[in-house]
Amino acid sequence: MHTNSSGYRLAALLALAVTTMLGIGFPAPVRSAEPFQPLNQPATKEHRPGKFVWADLFTTDPVAATKFYSGLFGWTANTITQDGKAYTVFSNGSRPVAGIAPRPSSNTKRPSRWVAYIAVKNMSSTLKLVTKAGGQIRAKALEFPNRGIQAIIADNEGSTIGLLQSSSGDSVDDQLKIGDWSWFELYVKQPQVVAAFYRDIVNYAMTPDLRTERKGDLLLSSDGVARAGVAPLPDLEDAKPGWLGVIRVADIDEALARTTKLGGEVLLAPRPAAFESRFAIIADSTGGTVGLLEYVDSAKVATHP
């Protein structure tokens, strides 16, 4: 997601937000005592490696996070139990879109952290490619009933991302709805090098992002659909690489007003972006960072990558 001439300020603010989230450990993975809702009902036989299909919020305050995101996006929440620990599944309408994974509390305040998941067809072979390409496995592959096989990795600059081999297949590339994940952007020191890492593990196509005025911005595509952007990180002392997920909203000004009422913070005020849209960055009430996107002309949604 780019904002043209304002892109470097966007990246700088994101870098500061990401800096506060680095060094946060993940909870030990647990097997599900209650089955997840399948990502796709009915199940599909389609596989779309490279598509972003899920996101988990790792937080020490699941109750506050549930209240915030339900209030902001209208997501419904269903809590299941995993070995005595609660895991919350958010749905946008009837379709599950995200989860909340609790982390143990500590004496040090730790902001929440979103981790997105990329679809893969074969987890075992993909993880071999991760290590070969210079990445690391942060959470080993585990199989969850109705969900599939999940793992969490770090790329060759240390940015964290999840991988998911869905047991119910992958959904079609349909028009984005209000409350859906709309885009994912990665800010890195060496866009070409890091984009090549994702190309090698997921077989993305790498192309220049012609929507932005900056040189070096790239798009990662699969099945002819742009899945994510890779942009240069500003040369700032505190800047560190990281992913940003963006969610579509109907009215960005109204969403920002609700953000503050729900205890969140506006990190980046609304500004014009590609495809006649408006873009902003917020922190939720527990410190998790997410982008918001409003299409000024809804007809542009169908053409958005």
Q: Where are the domains of the chain?
A: 4-20+174-303, 52-166
Distance CA 246, CA 40 (A): 21
Average of per-residue pLDDT across 153-165: 97
304 pLDDT exceeds 80?
no
- pLDDT tens track for 138-147: 999 999 888 9
- pLDDT tens track for 77-101: 999 886 678 899 999 998 999 999 9
Domain 52-166's class?
A: alpha beta
111 pLDDT exceeds 90?
no
58 pLDDT exceeds 60?
yes
Distance CA 114, CA 161 (A): 9
CA 241-244-247 angle, to 5 degrees, is: 175
Poorest-pLDDT segment among 4-8, 37-41, 69-73, 106-110: 4-8
pLDDT of residue 108: 65
Distance CA 153, CA 69 (A): 25
Average of per-residue pLDDT across 15-39: 51
pLDDT of residue 97: 95
Give phi and psi for 260, each to the nearest 5: -70, -35
3-state secondary structure of 286: coil
Q: What is the DSSP-derived secondary structure letter of residue 25?
A: P
C-beta separation of 229 from 218 below 8 A: yes
Which residues touch 174 (CB under 8 Å, ≥6 apart)? none
Give the pair of three-digit tokens for residue 57.
């919020």
279 pLDDT exceeds 60?
yes
pLDDT of residue 193: 97
Token look-up 């742009």 returns 226
Q: What is the DSSP-derived secondary structure letter of residue 35?
A: P
Poorest-pLDDT segment among 19-28, 36-45, 76-85, 190-199: 19-28
- pLDDT tens track for 179-236: 999 999 999 999 999 999 999 999 999 999 887 777 789 999 999 999 999 999 877 7
Q: Which CATH number fits domain 4-20+174-303: 1.10.620.20, 3.40.50.720, 3.40.710.10, 3.10.180.10?
A: 3.10.180.10
Of the candidates 163, 170, 172, which has an alpha carbon nearest to the alpha carbon of residue 125?
163
pLDDT of residue 19: 39
10 Å CB burial of residue 152 (0-12, 13-18, 19+) is buried
Q: What's the pTM value of the predicted model, to 2 decimals?
A: 0.87
Domains 4-20+174-303 and 52-166 alike in fold: yes
- Cα 119 to Cα 22, 51, 100, 171, 222, distances in angstroms: 24, 5, 19, 10, 11
C-beta separation of 285 from 262 below 8 A: yes
Distance CA 270, CA 220 (A): 25
Of the candidates 247, 248, 245, 250, which has an alpha carbon nearest to the alpha carbon of residue 229?
245
Buried b / exposed e over 29-65, threshold 16 CB at 10 Å, is eeebeeebbbbbeeeeeeebbbbbbbbbbbbbbbebb
3-state secondary structure of 126: helix
